[in-house]
Amino acid sequence: MNRKVTYFLILTFLMSFTAQSSVGFQQKLEHCPDPEVKKRLLAFENDGIEKACFTYDLEKVITYAESFKGTKHKMGGIDKTGIDCSGLVYSAHAKYGVQLPHSSQQQARFGLVIPTFSELKRGDLVFYYNSYKTANFITHVGIYLGHGKMLHTSSSKGVIISDVDDKYYWGERFLFGTRLNK
- Centre a 10 Å sphere on the Cβ of residue 155 and count the other Cβ atoms it contains: 14
Residues paired with 113 in a beta bridge: 178
Domains of the chain (ranges; CATH) run: 24-179 (3.90.1720.10)
Contacts of 177 (CB under 8 A, 6+ apart): 113, 114, 115, 119, 120, 124, 125, 126, 127, 144
pLDDT digits (tens, 9 = 90+) for 21-40: 478 888 898 888 999 999 99
Task: Supply the residues annotated as catalytic.
Answer: 85, 140, 152
Question: What's the pLDDT tens digit per position in 44-92?
Answer: 988 889 888 899 999 999 999 999 999 999 999 999 999 999 999 999 9
